[in-house]
Amino acid sequence: MASYTNNGSVAMVIFAKTTHKMNTETPNTINPDGSDTPFNPPTPNTPDIPTAEQQNGTGMTLKNVVVGLGVVGAIKSVANYYKNNYGDIMQDSNAQAEINEAMNIIGIGASIGLGFAYGGVIGGVASIIAQGVNVGLQTASFQRMMHRNQVQSQIMMARTQYASINGGR
């Protein structure tokens, strides 16, 4: 049983099977308009699902494309691991900080470039404003963190009987 809505009215459709000569069953439904003609709902126009043997325009099979994408994804994962953990692996935290800042600058440049590419001048200006707001918020967070660290240092120095950083007893 199914219900169909058309122009605010709802019709209930009862699906049934009829048996013809030779014991063959064919689906049949009762037409929602009340006529004796069978109701055949439209079938959706769905695309064929490609099989692994079908080829794309370059002559490669779908299976080869999926395997290739998996290999590329694995290579990217390894490269990202070494990029993100270079400082720990090589025991060089300064180089890791430089890598992180370079990647941050590249990301900002790419975002602005995509803004100009997709949105023209307006998109580029909007992207510049968005990146400016992002950098401003990062700077504010960094300043709050530095202030918090300074306050914690002063508390620790007071507990250990030091009056200030500039010298005390």
Tens of pLDDT, residues 138-166: 999 999 999 999 999 988 888 887 655 56
Residue 26 binned pLDDT confidence (cut-offs 50, 70, 90):
low
Q: What is the pLDDT of residues 94-141, one digit of tens each?
A: 988 899 899 889 999 999 999 999 999 999 999 999 999 999 999 999
- In a shared domain, residues 78 and 136: no
Structural domains of the chain, count = 3
- In a shared domain, residues 99 and 81: no
Q: Is residue 84 part of a domain?
A: yes
Q: Is residue 54 part of a domain?
A: no
Domain range enclosing 70: 62-91
- In a shared domain, residues 151 and 107: yes
- In a shared domain, residues 68 and 121: no
Q: Is residue 147 part of a domain?
A: yes
- In a shared domain, residues 87 and 98: no
Q: Which long-range contacts (CB under 8 A, 24 or more apart) does 119-123 make?
A: none
DSSP state of 58: T
Render the burial of 112-131: b for 16+ CB within 10 Å, e for the rest. beebbeeeeeeebeebeeeb
Predicted confidence at residue 148, as pLDDT, reads 96
- In a shared domain, residues 33 and 82: no
The domain boundary, picked from 74, 91, 108, lies at 91
Q: Which amino acid, 77?
A: S
- In a shared domain, residues 106 and 123: yes
- In a shared domain, residues 83 and 66: yes
- In a shared domain, residues 105 and 158: yes
- Tokens standing for 31? 């037409």
Residue 121 half-sphere exposure toward CB, CA atoms < 13 A = 0
- Tokens standing for 72? 């590329």
Predicted confidence at residue 105, as pLDDT, reads 92
Q: Is residue 24 part of a domain?
A: yes
Predicted confidence at residue 72, as pLDDT, reads 85
> Is a pLDDT exceeding 60 seen at residue 85?
yes
Q: Is residue 74 part of a domain?
A: yes
Q: What is the pLDDT of residues 37-80, one digit of tens each?
A: 666 666 656 666 656 555 556 666 777 777 888 888 888 888 88
The gap between the terminal CA atoms of the chain, to the nearest Å, is: 90
Q: Which amino acid, 9?
A: S
C-alpha span between 15 and 27 (Å, rounded): 7
- In a shared domain, residues 132 and 86: no
